[in-house]
Amino acid sequence: MSRTVVSVEAVEKVVPTAAGSLVILDGIDLEIKQGETVAIVGASGSGKTTLLGILAGLDEASAGRVMLVDEEISSLDEEARAKVRGLHVGFVFQSFQLLGSLTALENVMLPVELRGDTLAESQAAELLAKVGLADRIDHYPRQLSGGEQQRVAIARAFASAPTVLFADEPTGNLDTQTGALICDLLFDLNREFGTTLIMVTHDGRLAERCARTIAIAAGQIQA
């Protein structure tokens, strides 16, 4: 039986506003097994991106328990959460989040180098070849199209061989055709690496390709 890699119990997120407390997440219970592909969907303001951030250890819950790959990250400070993320987590963002001063190869090498792996360059080059950018490894982000930048970001996300890959609207800034290609690439690599994939998306094609869809409305999971 697959082990649980992400779980939350009774998670709440409340933020203070001038008009009083705003409840963003309310009593979230969730369990995700190793190797699952999960889409989190909902309208803007439903709390789905906040939930993704809490699952990934990028944000803190106001209450409740959050487990990420056997670590109770809800009891850790940011420095300790960052260590857990570095060991187990990959990210793909809507806005690519590439470092403009680094080439495609150097961007992909970064997480591997941070882990102290001496084969960073060869691993990064192999991943860039897998995403169809073998001839673009020395290009800087400004020299790449949006689709090419997202391919670099996907290669970087898989470079550290993460247990869990979190994706926040990975096709959100791309046209339909490019988005479809990125979608194929993401799922192909995910299958190859055996990663647990958890994504927030408005893209129905992406959500349909996930084995499970979790719908959120007004900060609560819908049955």
pLDDT at 208 over 60: yes
Which pLDDT belongs to residue 66?
A: 97
Give the separation between CA 156 and CA 98, rounded to whole angstroms: 9
Which pLDDT belongs to residue 123?
A: 87
> Which residue ranges make up each domain of the chain?
4-221
Which pLDDT belongs to residue 89?
A: 93
Which pLDDT belongs to residue 3?
A: 92
Residues found in the chain:
223
Reported as a pLDDT band with limits 50, 70 and 90, residue 117 is confident
Which pLDDT belongs to residue 170?
A: 87
Q: Which CATH architecture has domain 4-221?
A: 3-Layer(aba) Sandwich (3.40)
Which pLDDT belongs to residue 9?
A: 96
**Beta carbons within 8 Å of 18's beta carbon, 6+ residues apart:** none
Looking at the DSSP bridge assignments, the partners of residue 28 are: 11
**Beta carbons within 8 Å of 31's beta carbon, 6+ residues apart:** 4, 6, 7
> What tens digit of pLDDT does each residue of 84-111 get?
998 899 998 888 889 999 999 999 998 8
> What tens digit of pLDDT does each residue of 143-201 get?
999 999 998 999 999 988 899 999 999 888 888 888 888 888 889 999 999 999 999 99
**Of 204, 190, 195, nearest to 131 (Cα)?**
190
SS3 state of residue 97 = coil
> What tens digit of pLDDT does each residue of 11-49 get?
999 999 999 999 999 999 999 999 999 999 999 889 999
Which pLDDT belongs to residue 136?
A: 93
Specify whether the CB–CB gap between 60 and 50 falls below 8 A. Answer: no
pTM of the model: 0.89
Which pLDDT belongs to residue 1?
A: 57
Which pLDDT belongs to residue 28?
A: 96
What percent of the chain has pLDDT above 70?
A: 99
Q: Which residue in this structure is represented by tokens 């970064």? A: 110
